[in-house]
Amino acid sequence: MITSDQHKSEPVVRRMEVFTGAGHRREWPAEVKARILAETLLPGETVSGVARRHGLRVDQLFAWRKLARRAAAKRAGDPMTFAPVVLAPEPPPGDGQRASTALGEGMIEVDLGAGVVRIGRGADAKAILTVIRALRNGT
């Protein structure tokens, strides 16, 4: 037997979704995908948090990110490659060469033959790539 006070303790449905028709995948416009992907790059954001907010699965959002990286690499022309690194001993002070301490901590130097690129912490990856391509092409 149910008393009149028992219904008060039961949860109340505040929102209900009804799916009709054959279950098919949602189609996301490119602009919406781009906006959602941009959210994952904001400081303090997590992919899982963004996915949850937009009703996505985390693996789906990671797949979008992977596809976006591939598309960006294609647009950039050649894919990113690794360069060999040679560690050389510091030249003795006063031998006419610049001491390696002039680079400063956290700096790297790339000698491309046509020129030398010095890259510091926080350097913009796009700008670095543009400079290296220009030196490589001799422009």
- Given pLDDT bands bounded at 50, 70 and 90, which one contains residue 99? very low
Q: Give the pLDDT confidence score for residue 50 in this predicted structure.
A: 94
| First and final C-alpha spacing in the chain | 88
Q: What is the pLDDT of residue 101?
A: 46
129 and 87 inside one domain: yes
User: Do residues 86 and 139 share a domain?
Assistant: yes
User: Does residue 15 lie in a domain region?
Assistant: no
- pLDDT confidence tier of residue 109, bands split at 50, 70 and 90: confident
Number of structural domains found in the chain: 2
Q: What share of the chain is helix, strand, coil (3-state, %, to 5)?
A: 40, 5, 55
DSSP 8-state class, residue 54: H
* Lowest-confidence segment of 76-85, 106-115, 125-134 by average pLDDT: 76-85
How many Å separate Cα 93 from the centre of its chain?
41
Q: Is 97 helix (H, G, I), strand (E, B) or coil?
A: coil
User: Model confidence over 2-47: pLDDT tens digits?
Assistant: 555 555 666 677 787 776 666 667 888 889 999 999 998 888 999 9
Residue 80: enclosing H or E segment and its boundaries?
Answer: none
